[in-house]
Structure 1
Amino acid sequence: MIELKTEEQFALMREAGLIVRGALETLRGEVKDGVTTGGLDAIAEEYIRSHDAVPSFKGYGDPPFPAVICASVNHEVVHGIPGQTVVRDGDILSIDCGAIYQGWHGDAAITVGCGEIGPELAELLRVTEQSMWHGIAAIQDGKKLGEIGSAIQSYVRSQGPYGIVEGYGGHGIGTEMHMDPFVHNQRMLRDPGSRLRMRTGMALAIEPMLALGSKFTLVTDDQWTVVSRDGSPAAHFEQTVCLTEQGLWVTTAEDGGKAGLAPFGVAVHP
Structure 2
Amino acid sequence: MTPMFDARQIRRAFGRAAHSYAGAADLQREVEAWLLESLMYLDDSVPATVVDLGSGPGRAAAAMQARWPKARVLALDLALPMLRQAQPRRGWLRALGGRRAVLPICADAAALPLADASVDVLFSNLCLQWVEDLPAALAGFRRVLRPGGLLLCSSFGHDTLHELRAAFAEADRAPHVSPFATIAQFGDALMQAGFRDPVLEREPMRRGYPDLAALMRELRALGATNALAGRRRSLTGRARFARAAAAYEPLRDADGRLPATWEVITAMAWAPAPGAPIRERGTEIASFPADRIPLRKRR
How would you bin the TM-score normalised by the shorter chain?
under 0.3
Q: Given the two structures, how large is their TM-score scaled by the length of structure 1?
A: 0.27
Q: Looking at CA atoms only, which structure, 1 or 2, has the larger radius of gyration? A: 2
